[in-house]
Amino acid sequence: MSDCIFCNIINKNSPADILHEDDDFIVVKDIKPTAPVHLLIIPKEHIDSINHIEKKHRELIGDMFLLAKKTAHDYEISEGYKLAFNTGRKGGQLIDHLHLHLMGGWNEEQK
């Protein structure tokens, strides 16, 4: 999808700070972080949102969580973090390419 920001990053048509890349995913730093560590786990396959996942995506979605766990470990936030799929405009989704927010790194216990 040529008008998709994340597809353009994946295809190296737009610059981004790619922290990890494998056959199925990239991990990038969120450009407007809302946590001390705010990363995005992005599948290379363009899927609009959680509303668009199908049975064939079960392994991909599972792998997404495993990569989130590994990334939390690598960035030393395993002690506490949040994972979020914003879904639909009313759910705060701005980019219609599935991505998992990984947020952590707070000093204090989150209330």
User: Which one among 38, 44, 46, 57 touches Zn ion, defined by CB under 5 A?
Assistant: 46
Q: According to CB under 6 A, which residues from 52 to 91 bind ligand AMP?
A: 86
When asked if residue 93 is in the footprint of ligand AMP (CB under 6 A), the reply is yes
CB under 8 Å, gap of 24 or more: what pairs does 65-69 form?
Answer: 65/100, 67/20, 67/25, 67/27, 67/41, 68/41, 68/100, 68/102
Establish if 49 lies at the interface with ligand AMP (CB under 6 A): no
Compute the C-alpha angle 4/35/106, nearest 5°: 155
Cβ-based nearer residue to ligand AMP, 12 or 94: 94
Q: Can you give the binding site for ligand AMP, defined by CB under 6 A?
A: 5, 16, 28, 30-32, 40, 86, 92-95
